[in-house]
Amino acid sequence: MASANHKLVWLRLRSFIFGSPLATHSAENEKLGIFGGIPVFGSDVISSQGYAPDAILYVLVLSGTAGYAAAMHVTTAIILLLASILLLYRRTIQKYAQGGGSYTVAHAYLGEKMGLLAGASLSVDYILTVAVSVSSAVENLTGIIHWLQPTPHKVLADCLIIVFMTVVNLRGLKESARLFALPVYVYILSIFSLVGVGMFKYFVYGVALNPISHQIIANNTQSVTLFVFLRAMAAGTTALTGTEAVSNGVTAFKAPAQKKAISTLITLGFIVAIGLAGMVFLASKYQLVPSVDNTVINQLGLLVFGKTFMYYILMAGIAIILVIAANTPFVGLPILLSLMARDGYAPRYFKNLGDRLVYSAGIWTLSIIGLLLILVFGGDTHSMLPLYAIGVFISFSLTGFGLAKHCIESKSKKSYFWDMAIFLFGGVISFVVFLVFLITKFTEGAWLVAIIIPLLMFFFNSVSKVYKNEILLIKVTEADVQEFNKQIARISNRRADNILSEYKSKIVVPVFDINKIVLKALQYGYELTPQISAVHIASDSERAAKLQRKWAEYNIQVKLEIIDSPYRATVQDLLHYLEKVEQDSRYSTVTLVIPEFVPQKIWQNFLHNQTGQLMKLLLLLKKNILVTSVPYHPPAK
């Protein structure tokens, strides 16, 4: 009774924190529309427009009047690049209903290595976005909350925010959409109000220039060379980070998913273009000078609204949106890793849906790495910024080049030439921006990204090789099945005169698929007793049906039981099945025989989910349920 009460308390606490489990059949109800998709997938790109004007003007202000005059030209180039990127991902969404964005396009049209490059680049970008967004938000609050100024306090606040974001995202897409919708839409409205009222005041009342800007213009007469223009553009393209998230998460939208994803993508592009162009236009006309202590958006807020209610709404919105910007990677990276796991490039457990129909393994991974980054860099945004946004422009360029190649090869439309031109423009400009980023930020830390991305590619490739090798090692042949059936028939003939009820021990063999490991475990169990069942916990109805067909095709003379698992709780459902069998008076003991693959190298254990070890631990205190492993050692090369 005490154990049952303890279990009940734990379940209630778990449901309170993470929410009650959701059944697989309710997946469509948990998906998002356009209204929910904007805060979930767009928080990163929406927040980026807030600091992009600062990044542009930091470069151009050194050129004085010429720099301010060039600001709108730079912004126009960024918006043209944005339009091209939107068209890239629009086509990607149309072509790939399962999502995948840059990774899928690069893998399909540019080959395996380029696909891995896109996957590694996006993974790095997503991870850095979490750390940079959270640390930036906390740094923006230090002027208001002085307790946050010491580094240990700032790091603690960063870590608590990441933990909070982890819990929110583990509760599901709808939960995060509900929580973040109001602050995101308030921020969008405040930006539009800032631009609208600012434009009205500029055209009606004109401008009064800041004395500080006069002094800076007088002291800086550097010309706007092509390299300065490209540097400013590269700096301003941070406003585009997060654009690819929608194309990764097409499956998260309600039907028609592709149409809703495209509408969300275009809406986000419109929001970014209006906000960025408006703020840069006003900043250049007022000749504002960005600084660490006084951002462009803060200066514009004071000029346009004064210290009114709208100004404080704007400032509060900036701090909140920077925190919420970390939400996009919590959605994007788990989906990306699930797609890579499906293709065999990431550990298989990344493709499993958790209790709340989200890829919880990816969320936990992102959370842990994000926390480590905060601790290593002491929550200092400026030390992490040189690493930021480089990866995303690699993925942009690969998407452009991949789709351009597809256009050349297919020539399926009369307009293929214009499509190819658009895709090439996006690919080439993104690649140029990447090079400018890498050159200008290399000594500040960008060299680290140039090392991490190839290492990630090596890891993904190594995972693929291990899985491909394992599949070949355990794949059954006709000869294997015939030999297995022959041995089962031999054992059955030996027991022909025995009465089935005399066997009091029950054997249960968990089965995911038919392979050499499973056949070995089934034969071992059948040698002990004819009271044996192969049990498949069916979290995927299609896979269960496929297993049943193969079972019948191979004529395996061991009973196969399919246990429905609507909440994908494989371990718990197997435990419930064993407990039910344990209560059957026909059996004195129940033995769980676990087919276990023994990897050739110790580190390869990381690629397996260790469910067998968990079952051993959970059943340790069960008196009448025994556990044994049947290890399969692959032949040495």
> In the prediction, which pLDDT does 507 show?
93
pLDDT band of 2, cuts 50, 70, 90: very low
Annotated domain spans of the chain = 31-467, 478-632
Comparing 18-32, 190-204, 314-328, the range with the smallest average pLDDT is 18-32
> In the prediction, which pLDDT does 189 show?
94
How far apart, in whole angstroms, are the C-alpha atoms of residue 388 and residue 124? 8
Query: pLDDT > 90: what percent of the chain?
Result: 35
What phi, psi does 486 have (nearest 5°)? Answer: -65, -45
Fold for 478-632, please state it.
Answer: Rossmann fold (3.40.50)
Say which CATH class 31-467 falls into: mainly alpha
pLDDT at residue 371 greater than cutoff 90: yes
Query: pLDDT > 70: what percent of the chain?
Result: 92
- In the DSSP assignment, the letter for residue 244 is T
Q: Are 506 and 581 in contact (CB under 8 A)?
A: yes
How far apart, in whole angstroms, are the C-alpha atoms of residue 447 and residue 465? 28
How far apart, in whole angstroms, are the C-alpha atoms of residue 295 and residue 273? 19
Q: What is the CA radius of gyration of the chain?
A: 29
Tell me the whole-structure pTM to 2 decimals.
Answer: 0.86
How far apart, in whole angstroms, are the C-alpha atoms of residue 133 and residue 322? 5
pLDDT in tens, 511-557: 999 999 999 999 999 999 899 999 999 988 888 999 999 999 999 98
Q: Are 325 and 129 in contact (CB under 8 A)?
A: yes
| β-strand partners of 508 | 533, 592
pLDDT at residue 6 greater than cutoff 60: no
